[in-house]
């Protein structure tokens, strides 16, 4: 199938298969602090992901590109990023590397947001030369390398050979002049995967958990013989963060993507060790359904919700959220225990050294 047609179908089915409102973030809750001793106006939401100092922990994560029909979506996303100071990643640029006619669907992002932090994006099958071209195409400050094994296996025209992925990631990281971010597209990351990436020198990892856009469902919609039994495959974003907490990750920063719906979800992700949160599906629905002003207002609301949570917990900076107690219950707690994590540590970390 022509890549541009596939890109359009991905957007259509991503919107049509949006996950139910409840997800794994609802298994997490905070212990209230009735004496926070803090002022809402003093809370700060800047995020530190070296070498990036972000004015917001919300990252517009990779969504689309590669077809003229989606250029307007990327233009609107770029305006949101510019107006609200958000970092932004474009969708996979392999389509543009193979067909220069669709470069504009990515280039529009840099044109609308000339001074913002923009990340290029390619799959782990990419070569060093392709990675360099992708970065140059949009003058990117960094490169996302996405991992999407299950999506490829369910995609009618997808890849079937995943050998050499880690070696290619390492080669790109060593050759590229900008930071490399490795991200899952929505199936989560295990402790082993996170440790392998860290050992390869990857210092920014997006765990990309189940709970947001379900690319298994998306690809099954496109397939004449769908494998629906794989639509619940993977780990949620909270589960992936708990996996990471059992790793030695000196100098590694985590991004949590997967089902982030509002500022309270963001606070929960930051409390579990993320340094930023990726949002994709929620913004895609906004820019395709409401006026730009409403999209901008929604981002303002997310920041307000996050600051409300911070104030109620008595923390003025994002990193302080890692000290507050978090109650982890339900399926998330059960699965975490099976993987050797101890939810009780999070529930009592205000009482004992964590």
Block means of pLDDT (10 residues each) for the chain, 354 residues, are 56 57 93 96 97 97 85 95 97 94 95 97 96 97 96 89 96 96 96 95 96 86 89 96 88 96 98 97 92 96 98 98 97 96 93 56
Distance (Å, whole) CA 113 – CA 117: 8
**What local confidence, expressed as pLDDT, does residue 302 receive?**
98
* CATH number for the domain harbouring residue 40: 3.20.20.70
Residue 352 domain-assigned?
Answer: no
Residue 85 domain-assigned?
Answer: yes
Residue 354 domain-assigned?
Answer: no
Residue 123 domain-assigned?
Answer: yes
Rounded to two decimals, the pTM is: 0.92
Distance (Å, whole) CA 31 – CA 310: 12
Residue 211 domain-assigned?
Answer: yes
Residue 141 domain-assigned?
Answer: yes
- Domain tally for the chain? 1
Pair of tokens at residue 47: 């995020």
Distance (Å, whole) CA 248 – CA 17: 36
Distance of CA 224 to CAs 4, 336, 337, Å? 20, 36, 38
């Amino acid at each position: 199938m022509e890549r541009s047609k596939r890109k359009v179908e991905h957007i259509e089915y991503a919107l049509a298969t949006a996950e139910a409102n409840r997800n794994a973030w609802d298994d997490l809750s905070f212990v209230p602090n009735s004496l926070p001793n803090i002022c809402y106006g003093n809370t700060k939401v800047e995020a530190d992901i070296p070498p990036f100092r972000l004015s917001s922990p919300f990252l517009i994560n990779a969504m689309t590109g590669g077809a003229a029909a989606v250029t307007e979506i990327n233009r609107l996303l770029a305006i949101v990023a510019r107006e609200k100071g958000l970092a932004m990643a474009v969708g996979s640029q392999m389509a543009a590397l193979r067909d220069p006619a669709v470069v504009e669907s990515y280039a529009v992002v840099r044109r609308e947001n000339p001074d913002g932090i923009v990340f290029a994006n390619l799959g782990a099958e990419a070569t060093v030369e392709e990675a360099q071209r992708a970065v140059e195409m949009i003058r990117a400050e960094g490169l996302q390398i996405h991992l999407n094994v299950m999506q490829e296996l369910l995609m009618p025209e997808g890849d079937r050979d995943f050998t050499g992925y880690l070696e290619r990631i390492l080669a790109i990281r060593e050759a590229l002049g900008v930071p490399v971010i490795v991200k899952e597209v929505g199936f989560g990351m295990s402790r082993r995967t996170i440790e392998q990436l860290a050992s390869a020198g990857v210092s920014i990892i997006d765990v990309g958990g189940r709970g947001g856009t379900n690319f298994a469902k998306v690809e099954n919609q496109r397939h004449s013989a769908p494998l629906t039994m794989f639509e619940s495959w993977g780990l949620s974003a909270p589960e992936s963060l708990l996996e990471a907490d059992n790793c030695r990750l000196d100098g590694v920063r985590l991004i949590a993507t997967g089902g982030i719906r509002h500022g309270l979800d963001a606070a929960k992700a930051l409390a579990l060790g993320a340094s930023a949160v990726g949002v994709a599906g929620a913004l895609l629905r906004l820019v395709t359904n409401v006026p730009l002003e409403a999209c901008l207002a929604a981002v303002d609301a997310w920041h307000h919700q996050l600051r409300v949570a911070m104030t109620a917990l008595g923390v003025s900076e994002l990193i302080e959220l890692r000290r507050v107690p978090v109650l982890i219950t339900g399926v998330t707690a059960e699965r975490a225990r099976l993987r050797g994590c101890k939810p009780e540590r999070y529930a009592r970390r205000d009482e004992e050294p964590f």
